[in-house]
Amino acid sequence: MSSPADRLRTLLRKDRLLLLPCCFDALSAMLVERAGFSASFMSGFAVAASRLALPDTGLISFGEMVEQGRGICRAVAIPVIGDGDTGYGNALNVKRTVREYAAAGFAAVMIEDQVMPKRCGHTRGKQVVDRDEAVMRIRAACDARDAGADILILARTDARATHGLDEALLRARAFAAEGADLLFVEAPADEAELARVCREAPGRHLANMLPGGTTPVLPPDRLEALGFAMAAYPLLLLSAVIGAMQRALQALAAGEVEEGSPGFAETRALLGFDDYDAEAYGYACG
C-alpha cells in the first residue's frame, strides 16, 4: 500500500482543488472520509478546543498534538495534513516534529513562522520571527524529510498581518527555494491578494476559508481558477458540533429530550458495532 504522503502527492497531481474539511479527532476524520472527501487537515485550533477547551494560543503541547494525530490517522485511509505549529523550538525541534508527525501517519506537516507561543492566524496579536529564522525552520523541516521522513512539508507564513503582503510573498518564495512541497500565505485580505499569492509565489498553495476571518470565503471553483491547489475549512465541523450540542442541551434544559440524529441504531452501525458483533460471533462459533 502506498504511504499517506504518496497518496497526497497523487491527489495533488490531478491539478484539481483539493477540499480539506478539518478534523479534530478520530470520529470527525472518519466522517470526513465517509462523506467522500479525499483528504483532511487536523486543525490545531479545533484540537485545542475539543481536547482542552482552550484557545489556539500555543497552550496545547507537541505531545498532545502528536497523540491526537496518531488516533486520527489510524482511523482513516485518506491522507491527513497535520498542524505542526512553529515546530516547537529550534531547528532540531523542527526536525523532530517532522519525524514524529511522519511516524504518526500524517501525509504532510505544516510549519509556520510565528513567534512561540503562536496563535490562530485570524486573531489579533500575532508576531512572526525574522525571515532568516523562518527560512531556517523550513530548511530543517525539509532536511528531516530528505533524511527519510516520508511526509510533505507545508510552509506557512503569517507575515501578511505584521509586515504586509510583499514580505509574506518574499517568505513564501524563500520557503519554496528551500524545498517546501506546499505553501500557505495566511490571511490575505481580499480576492486581489489571493490572486497575487498564486501569481507571485510559484508552487502549490493552500487557501484557508474561515467565515468571519480576515480572508473572504470564495467558492471552490473560484479558488481553483485563482490557482489554489487546496482549500482548508478549519472550523466547519467544530462549529457544527458546538451548535448541535448547544441546541440539544437547551432543549433538555427546557424539559425536552431530543431523539438525536443520527439515531442509536445508525450510530451503532457508524461506529462498527455490527461488524464487531459479526466478527466476534464468527470466532465464538469456531
Report the distance separating Cα 99 and Cα 231, nearest Å.
25
Least confident span in 100-104, 116-120, 196-200, 218-222: 116-120
Report the distance separating Cα 141 and Cα 87, nearest Å.
8
Return all residues near 162 (Cβ < 8 A) that are at least 6 apart: 126, 127, 128
Q: Which CATH class is domain 4-235?
A: alpha beta
What digits encode the pLDDT tens for the residues 10-50? 999 998 999 999 999 999 999 999 999 999 999 999 999 99
Each domain of the chain, given as residue ranges in start order, spans: 4-235, 244-284
Q: Which of 94, 90, 45, 41 is nearest to 69 (CA)?
A: 41
**Percent of the chain, pLDDT > 90?**
85
Helix-then-strand count for the chain, H and E: 13, 8
Question: Do residues 98 and 151 lie in contact, with contact meaning Cβ atoms separated by under 8 Å?
Answer: yes
Average pLDDT over residues 225-240: 97
Mean pLDDT, the chain, as a whole number?
95
pLDDT at residue 121 is higher than 70: no
State the pTM of this model. Answer: 0.94
What digits encode the pLDDT tens for the residues 145-204? 999 999 999 999 999 999 999 999 999 999 999 999 999 999 999 999 999 999 999 999
Report the distance separating Cα 224 and Cα 16, nearest Å.
7
